[in-house]
Structure formats: C-alpha cells, structure tokens
Structure 1
Amino acid sequence: MLEQRLLEKAIGVAGRLIAVEPFGEGSIARFTVDSGEHAGEWFVDSSKQAVPVETGFVIRSRDGVVVARIWKHPLDPRLPALRTAVDPERIARISAAADSSGPVEAKVLAYRPGRRAVVRLTQHGVHLFVKVVRPGEAEDLAAIHEACRAAGVPAPEVAHWSPAGVVVVRDATGTPGPVAAARMPAGELLDAVDALRERLLTVETRRIARASVGSRVDWHVDRMAGGLPGRASDAQRLLPALLEHVRREGPPRVVHGDLHIGQLFFDGGEVSSVIDVDTAGLGDPADDSAAFIGHATASAARNQAAGRDGDAAQLRAIADAAADRWLRDPHTTALTVLHLLGHGIRAAERAPGAAELLLDRALELARVAAR
C-alpha cells in the first residue's frame, strides 16, 4: 500500500500495518517496526491537513505540496501533550510538584492518532485518566463532562484540565460492563442503557457529537473490500444498499457518540458510570444504537473466531436483544452495517475469520446475498 511505501522511503523499513483510520482528505495508517534502531509505532498521515509544528518526516510533491507526514509515537503533531503524558520522568516531576511521592505507572489505554489519547496513571493503587486532545479542545471536553453530571448522567469527575490539551478525570465506579453483562439478563442490561440514553437527552449542550459513521460510507466499503480481497465483491455490493439510508432522520439529539458495553459500569441494575463522553453532543440517536450493536456483534465474532464459544454466545445474545429492540428502521440498520464494517476492517489483518463473520452479518442485515 502507498502508506507503507512512504514509510519505507522515510526510514528504510516498511513496517507491519496495524490499522488505518480515515482522516481529512486521506487517512492515518499505523505501523509497527519490531526491531532495530527504528523499533516502535509509526504513523503515516495522508490527510493533507496542516499541523501547528512538524514533529517528524514531511514528504512533499515536486511542487512542494505535502503528500504525507510521518512520525513516531508519541510525537503526534496534533497532540503535543501526549509526549508528557507517557514520559515516566515528566510524570514523576509533576507528581512531586503536587506533593505526591512514589512511583507512577503510565499506560496508554486508547490512542486515535491526530484526535485523542487516554493514558491511565496509577499511583498507590489509585487511578487517574489523562485525556490528551488537541490544544484548545480541553475546555470543551471538561465542559461536556460537567454538563453530563449536571443532568444526572454519571460521567467521571474532572480533576484538572489544561489548555495545552489535557483533561484529567477520576476513576469510574461500579462493575465494568463486560463483567456485569455476564451477571445480568440481556433485557435488564438494555433497560439500564435505555435509561441512560433518556438522561443524555436532557444534557444542556450545543456541542456537536462525533461525526456519524454514515459520513464515510465509501471509505468503509472500500477498506473492507481491501481487507478481505477474496470477499471484495460482497463488500462492494453493500454500497448501493447503504447509500439510500444513511442520512439522519429527524433533528439532532444529545447522544454519547460511541456507546458500547465497554463504556459502561453498573451497580444495582443501573448504569453507575459512563466513560468517554468526549464524543458526546448533538447527533443522531441511531448512531448510539448502531455502535452498541456493532460492538457487541464484533466482540462475539472475535470470541467465536478464537474458540471462546461461551463468551461468544453471551455477547451474541446481547447483540441480538439490542437488535430486536433498536433495529426498527432502515436508517439504524444501515448505520449498524457500517459499524460492523468498521470492526471488520480492524479485524481483517489479525483475525480474518472474525472479519468474515462480521461481513456475513453485515450482508445479512442489509439483505444483500453473498456471491
């Protein structure tokens, strides 16, 4: 692929492709170099979007136009605070300045290049979560956390934020969703999720939620076709079935923006905490339904492909119950198909069996027959 050739041109090593995410006019591809002087995670950005400061290689066309930017983690040019958030020495100095002694462990839990990262800091058994965003976005992120809490949505408490692009939140309370799902009937769990979604509708904000998955139909279909070349024709046949139904129906409402079982904690049959409200704001309620069903279905497929049949069956039951409850129209179904493709794209490299299962389910939902 082009991004791999560009990386090899820059550092002399092609690397191993891990993931690709749409970004701007192109994408950001993540590669791993396993050994040698360039060992680590590398990113190739073909978005053509400007950055405040260059932090890596810049490849230009003959007329000087930027073709790609290439950097090594954690030197993300759009997230300058990331370097501090994962540097043990810098974290230790910050901790000492706050009159807190003892070792601090930093672990990156999530990273979407160019967009955000989540780093867990652990000291004396207590967790804090550092959300690294673009400079200027931190105040908005802190505000949506507080707006959620004011409306009774149990988002984590903000302990600190900085205009440099850092928001620090406290740990969630309750039993993690994947653990609670093994103990709660699917209907009871979904009742709790519905109650949370009703509370979200009362959040006072003008913030815009994360862009709908429906905004990148062509990209998802093309990447799925490329990830499973033997099933490319099946993936491409989804395109006309999706384009007709992806446009939002009705006015925007407040949604989570990335709702799934891993974002939820439960206590006494209710959602006691909901994390990652970074994506929350005015958007399409169907996206929350689709994201939840897509994530549960993808988790079931990964477990099935790995031979963990019991876990797969449990997750499939949740996905099926959610589909029975929320898939009431072609629009929500189309968005769910796109979420399945998104998970399939990520699975294709390391778990092609799971990717095939997700494509099969996408075809089934879209009522498109496989060749």
Structure 2
Amino acid sequence: MLEQRLLEKAIGEAGRLIAVEPFGEGSIARFGIEGGEHAGDWFVDSSRQHVAHETGFVIRSREGVTVARIWKHPLDPRLPALRTALDPQRLARISAAAGSDGPIDARVLAYRPGRRAVVRLTQHDVHLFIKVVRPGEAEDLAAIHGACRAAGVPAPEVVHWTPAGVVVVRDATGAPGPVAASRMPVGELLDAVDDLREHLLMVRTRRIARASVGSRVDWHLDRLAADLPGRADDVRALLPALVPHLRRVGPPRVVHGDLHIGQLFFADGAVSSVIDVDTAGLGDPADDAAAFVGHAMASAARNEVAGRTADAALLQGIADEAADRWLREPHAAALTALHLVGHGIRAVDRSPEATDLLLDRARRVAGVRALR
C-alpha cells in the first residue's frame, strides 16, 4: 500500500500495518516496528490537513504541497499534549493539581491519531484519566462533561483541564458494561440504556456530535473492498442498499456519538457512569442505536471466531434485542451495517475470518442477498 511505501522511503523500514482511519482528504495509517532503532508505532498521514508544527518527516510534491507526514508515537503533531501526558515529571504536576502525589503508572488506553487519546493514571490504587485533545478543544470538552452532569447524564467529573489540550477526569463508578451484561436481564439493561438516551436529549449544548459513520460510506466500502479483494463484489453491493437510507431523519438531537456497552457502567439497574462523552453533541439519534447494535454484533463475531461461544451468545442476544427495539427504520439499519463494515476493516489484520463474518452480517442487516 502507498502508506507503507512512504514509511519505508522515510525510515528504511515498511513496518506492519496495524490500523487505518479516514482523515481529511486521505487517511492516517498506523504501523508497528518490532525491534531495532525504529522500534515503536509509526503513523503515515495522507490527509493533507494543516498542522501548526511538524514533528516528523514531511513528504512534499514538486509543487511544495504536503503529500504525507510521518511521525513516531507519541509525537502526534495535532496532539502536542500527548508527550506531556506520558512524561513522568509532568504527570506528577498534573496529579498534584488534582490533589494527589506519589508514584504514578501511566497507560495509554485509547488513541485515535490526530484526534484524541486517553491515558490512565494509577496512583495509590486510584485512577484518573487524561483526555488528550487538540489545543483549544479542552475547554469545550470540559464543558460537555459539565452539561451532561447537569442534565442527569452521569459523565465523569472533570478535576483539571488546560488550554494545551489536557482534560483530567475521575474514574467511572459501577460495574463495567460487559460485566453487568452477564448479570442483568437483557431487557433491564436496554431499559437503562433507553433512560440514558432520554437524559442525553435534555443536555443543553450547541456542540456538534462526532460525524456520522454515514458521512464516509464511500471510504468505508472502498477500504473493505481493497482489504477483501475476493469479496469486492459483495462489498460494493452494499452501496445501493445503504445510500438511499443514510440521510438523517428529523432534527438534530443530543447524542453520545459513540455509544456501546464498553462506554457504560451499571449499578442498581441503571447506568451509573457513561464515559467518552467527548463525542457527544447534536447529531442523529439513530447513530447511537446503530453504534450500540453494531458494536455488540461485532463483539459477538470476534468472540465466535475465537471460540468463546458463551460470550458470543450473550453479546449476540443483546444485539438481537437491541435491534428489535431500535432498528425498525431502514435508516438505523443502514447505519448499523456501515458500523459493521468499519469493525470489519479494523479486524482485517488480526482476524480475516472475523472480517468475513462481519461483512456477512452487514449484508444481512442491510437486506442484501448473499452473492456467494
């Protein structure tokens, strides 16, 4: 692939492709190098989007246009605070600002290059979470946490933030969603999620939720077709089945933006915490339904392929009942199918069998008859 050739041109090693996400006019691809002087995670950005300061290699056309930029984690040019979030001395200062001291363990839990990262700090068996965002976005992120809490949405409390792009929040309370799902009746769990979604509608904000998965339908299908050349016709057959149903129905409402069981914590039959409200804002309620169902279906598929049949059955049961509740319109079903395509893309390198299964499920949700 082009990104791999560009990386090899820059550092002399091609690396192993880990993941790729759409970004700007192109994408950001992540590669891993196991050993030697270049060991670590490397990123190739073909988005052609401006950055304030370059932090790695830059490849330009003869006309001087930036074709790609390449950097090594954590030197993300759009997230300059990421280095701070992983620097022991600076972490000690952040911890002190939150009222604590002592040895700190820092672990990156999530990272979307160019967009955001989450770093967990553990000190005296207490967790704090650093949200790393682009400079200038931290105040807005702190504000949406506050707006959610004011509306009864149990987002974590913000204890510190800086304009450089750092927001520090407290730990969630309650049983993690996957644990609670094994203990609660499915109907009770989904009732709790419905109650959370109702409270989200009452959040007072003008911020825009994360872009709908439907806004990048061509990119997703083209990428999966390239990753599964033997099933490219199956992938492309999704396009006419999805496109007529991807436009939002009704006015924008406040949504989570990335709702799934892993974002939720439960206590006493209710959602006690909801994390990653970074993506929340005005959007399409069907996106939350589709994200939840798609994630449950994808998790079931991955567990099925791995031979964890009990976990697969539990997650598929949640997905089926949630689909019965929330996927009654073609619009929500189309978005769910596209979420499954996205999960399939992310699974290509780790489990081609899971990707194959996810494509089949996407086609079934979209109502496309199998071609093979």
TM-score normalised over the length of structure 2: 0.98
Letter in 2 for 1:13: E
Letter in 2 for 1:295: H
> Which string of whole-angstrom CA distances, capped at 9 and with x for unpartnered residues, describes residues 66-88 of structure 1?
00000000000000000010122
> Which string of whole-angstrom CA distances, capped at 9 and with x for unpartnered residues, describes residues 20-53 of structure 1?
0000000000000111100000000000000000
Q: Judge conservation of contact 1:252–1:283 (CA < 8 Å) in 2.
A: yes
Who is 1:62 aligned against? 62
Q: Judge conservation of contact 1:227–1:349 (CA < 8 Å) in 2.
A: no
Who is 2:146 aligned against? 146
Who is 1:131 aligned against? 131
Who is 1:112 aligned against? 112
Who is 2:236 aligned against? 236
Letter in 2 for 1:209: A
* C-alpha RMSD of the superposition: 1.1
Are 1:294 and 2:290 an aligned pair?
no
Once residues 146 and 367 of structure 1 are traced to their aligned partners in structure 2, the CA distance between those partners, rounded to angstroms, is 41
Once residues 310 and 98 of structure 2 are traced to their aligned partners in structure 1, the CA distance between those partners, rounded to angstroms, is 47
Are 1:335 and 2:335 an aligned pair?
yes
Once residues 149 and 99 of structure 1 are traced to their aligned partners in structure 2, the CA distance between those partners, rounded to angstroms, is 22
How far residue 233 of structure 1 moved from its aligned partner, in angstroms, is 1.1
Q: Judge conservation of contact 2:296–2:318 (CA < 8 Å) in 1.
A: yes
Once residues 174 and 263 of structure 1 are traced to their aligned partners in structure 2, the CA distance between those partners, rounded to angstroms, is 12
Secondary structure of the 1:300 match is: helix
Secondary structure of the 2:245 match is: coil
Q: Judge conservation of contact 1:174–1:265 (CA < 8 Å) in 2.
A: yes
Who is 1:50 aligned against? 50
Counterparts in 2 of 1:175-194, with a 5 A limit?
A: 175-194=175-194
Letter in 1 for 2:252: P
Once residues 100 and 288 of structure 1 are traced to their aligned partners in structure 2, the CA distance between those partners, rounded to angstroms, is 36
How far residue 132 of structure 1 moved from its aligned partner, in angstroms, is 0.3
Once residues 288 and 347 of structure 2 are traced to their aligned partners in structure 1, the CA distance between those partners, rounded to angstroms, is 21
Once residues 145 and 93 of structure 2 are traced to their aligned partners in structure 1, the CA distance between those partners, rounded to angstroms, is 27
Moved more, 360-369 or 90-99: 90-99
Q: Judge conservation of contact 2:98–2:160 (CA < 8 Å) in 1.
A: no
Letter in 1 for 2:213: V
Once residues 213 and 66 of structure 1 are traced to their aligned partners in structure 2, the CA distance between those partners, rounded to angstroms, is 27
| 1:85–1:61 distance in 2 versus 1, CA, 3 Å | same
Letter in 1 for 2:143: A
Letter in 2 for 1:218: D
Q: Judge conservation of contact 2:97–2:160 (CA < 8 Å) in 1.
A: no
Secondary structure of the 1:244 match is: helix
Who is 1:223 aligned against? 223
How far residue 97 of structure 1 moved from its aligned partner, in angstroms, is 7.5
Secondary structure of the 1:369 match is: coil
Who is 2:267 aligned against? 267
How far residue 16 of structure 1 moved from its aligned partner, in angstroms, is 0.3
Who is 1:75 aligned against? 75
Who is 1:309 aligned against? 309
Once residues 51 and 286 of structure 2 are traced to their aligned partners in structure 1, the CA distance between those partners, rounded to angstroms, is 33
Secondary structure of the 2:17 match is: strand
Who is 1:360 aligned against? 360
Q: Judge conservation of contact 1:254–1:282 (CA < 8 Å) in 2.
A: yes
Secondary structure of the 2:131 match is: strand
Secondary structure of the 1:75 match is: coil
Who is 1:171 aligned against? 171
Who is 2:34 aligned against? 34
In structure 2, list runs of 5 or more residues that go unmatched: none
Who is 2:23 aligned against? 23
> Which string of whole-angstrom CA distances, capped at 9 and with x for unpartnered residues, describes residues 241-270 of structure 1?
111110101100000000000000000100
Once residues 96 and 181 of structure 2 are traced to their aligned partners in structure 1, the CA distance between those partners, rounded to angstroms, is 40
Task: Give % identity.
Answer: 80
Once residues 283 and 344 of structure 1 are traced to their aligned partners in structure 2, the CA distance between those partners, rounded to angstroms, is 24
Q: Judge conservation of contact 2:98–2:159 (CA < 8 Å) in 1.
A: no
> Which string of whole-angstrom CA distances, capped at 9 and with x for unpartnered residues, describes residues 274-293 of structure 1?
00000000000000000000
Secondary structure of the 2:209 match is: coil
Q: Judge conservation of contact 1:136–1:165 (CA < 8 Å) in 2.
A: yes
Once residues 214 and 139 of structure 2 are traced to their aligned partners in structure 1, the CA distance between those partners, rounded to angstroms, is 28
Once residues 62 and 319 of structure 2 are traced to their aligned partners in structure 1, the CA distance between those partners, rounded to angstroms, is 51
Secondary structure of the 1:58 match is: strand
Secondary structure of the 1:41 match is: strand
Q: Judge conservation of contact 1:131–1:168 (CA < 8 Å) in 2.
A: yes
In structure 1, list runs of 5 or more residues that go unmatched: none
Q: Judge conservation of contact 1:79–1:132 (CA < 8 Å) in 2.
A: yes
Once residues 202 and 251 of structure 1 are traced to their aligned partners in structure 2, the CA distance between those partners, rounded to angstroms, is 14
Letter in 1 for 2:245: H
Q: Judge conservation of contact 1:107–1:120 (CA < 8 Å) in 2.
A: yes
How far residue 93 of structure 1 moved from its aligned partner, in angstroms, is 5.0
Q: Judge conservation of contact 2:265–2:271 (CA < 8 Å) in 1.
A: yes
Once residues 97 and 246 of structure 1 are traced to their aligned partners in structure 2, the CA distance between those partners, rounded to angstroms, is 45
Q: Judge conservation of contact 1:107–1:119 (CA < 8 Å) in 2.
A: yes
How far residue 98 of structure 1 moved from its aligned partner, in angstroms, is 7.1
| 1:97–1:118 distance in 2 versus 1, CA, 3 Å | closer
Q: Judge conservation of contact 1:110–1:118 (CA < 8 Å) in 2.
A: yes
How far residue 101 of structure 1 moved from its aligned partner, in angstroms, is 3.6
How far residue 366 of structure 1 moved from its aligned partner, in angstroms, is 1.2
How far residue 94 of structure 1 moved from its aligned partner, in angstroms, is 4.5
Letter in 2 for 1:265: F
TM-score normalised over the length of structure 1: 0.98
Who is 1:92 aligned against? 92
